[in-house]
């Protein structure tokens, strides 16, 4: 693990891309190859819950092994009095439940638990591990990098989970903007955990909603995510403390050696 950590420190962009790819490979292996289909009547989302719990544990272990748990805010609750910036994101998530929730009580409870695990998993890997990897680039470029990688990772929904291409492209845009705002919120709050809860609820309310949100509302949400993320970065990005300087082992001669699907559809 240490050689990979040294490589990530030297090359944060490549490191973030490699970590995103590795996380998606592990997720797909467990979802499609290793685990059998697990959908008992008493908990239809058992398989999805296990996959996300396993991937979240893997990302957590990498952060622990590299000594980044606290720096990445995964092992911190941040400043509870400063959790208020997450409130607009929570209100947007709850707006998708205005039309009610679709499905039986078993499906609703199963889906809620499963999608909260999605929120935990994706926030640990993306806003925790990947964003910490990109920290040397500065808050704005790190948030943009997180948004691009997080959004692009949703192409897996088309490639491996049977989603239509047009829906997948809108999911990529929606996820990218959502990830951008969550990356900015990490700087404002000092913890990924409020976003993990909001993330899970956002996915849950969208998926269990009887229908997709109106186009005008979704377009407004896209615009809000972009504007709010930029505002948060301007307000809180400068307060981000730099990571402790880490020493990369020297080589000969003293020189250093050589990505749930979201149901949202966009404007048509």
Q: What is the pLDDT of residue 239?
A: 67
What is the rounded CA–CA span in Å between residue 42 and residue 107?
9
Are 201 and 101 spatial neighbours (Cβ–Cβ below 8 Å)? no
Q: What is the pLDDT of residue 247?
A: 42
- CA-based max dimension of the chain: 67
Are 97 and 211 spatial neighbours (Cβ–Cβ below 8 Å)? no
Low-confidence ranges of the chain (pLDDT < 50): 244-245, 247-268
How far is residue 249 from each of residues 4, 49, 109, 135, 230, measured CA to CA in Å?
Answer: 12, 39, 49, 20, 37
pTM: 0.88
Q: What is the pLDDT of residue 257?
A: 39
Tell me the backbone φ, ψ of residue 42, rounded to 5 degrees: -80, -15
Domain range list for the chain:
2-240
HSE-CB of 208 using CA atoms within 13 angstroms:
27
Are 192 and 74 spatial neighbours (Cβ–Cβ below 8 Å)? yes
């Amino acid at each position: 693990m240490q050689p990979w950590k040294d490589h990530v420190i030297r090359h944060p962009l490549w490191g973030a891309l490699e970590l995103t790819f590795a996380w998606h490979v592990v997720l797909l292996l467990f979802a499609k190859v290793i685990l059998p289909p697990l959908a008992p009547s008493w908990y239809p989302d058992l398989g999805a819950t296990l996959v996300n719990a396993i991937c979240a544990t893997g990302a957590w272990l990498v952060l622990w092994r590299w000594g980044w748990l606290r720096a990445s805010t995964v092992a911190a609750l941040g400043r509870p009095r400063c959790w208020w910036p997450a409130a607009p994101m929570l209100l947007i998530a709850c707006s998708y439940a205005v039309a009610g929730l679709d499905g039986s009580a078993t499906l609703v409870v199963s889906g809620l638990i499963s999608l909260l695990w999605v929120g935990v998993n994706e926030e640990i890997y993306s806003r925790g591990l990947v964003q910490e990897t990109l920290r040397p680039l500065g808050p704005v470029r790190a948030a943009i990098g997180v948004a691009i990688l997080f959004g692009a990772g949703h192409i897996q929904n088309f490639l491996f989970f049977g989603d239509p291409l047009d829906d997948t492209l809108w999911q990529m845009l929606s996820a990218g903007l959502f990830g951008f705002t969550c990356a900015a919120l990490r700087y404002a709050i000092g913890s990924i955990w409020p976003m993990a809860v909001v993330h899970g609820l956002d996915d849950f309310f969208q998926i269990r909603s009887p229908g997709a949100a109106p186009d005008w509302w979704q377009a407004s949400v896209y615009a809000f995510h972009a504007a709010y993320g930029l505002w948060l970065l301007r307000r809180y990005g400068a307060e981000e403390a730099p990571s402790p300087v880490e020493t990369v082992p020297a080589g000969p001669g003293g020189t250093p050696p050589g990505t749930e699907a979201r149901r949202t559809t966009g404007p048509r």
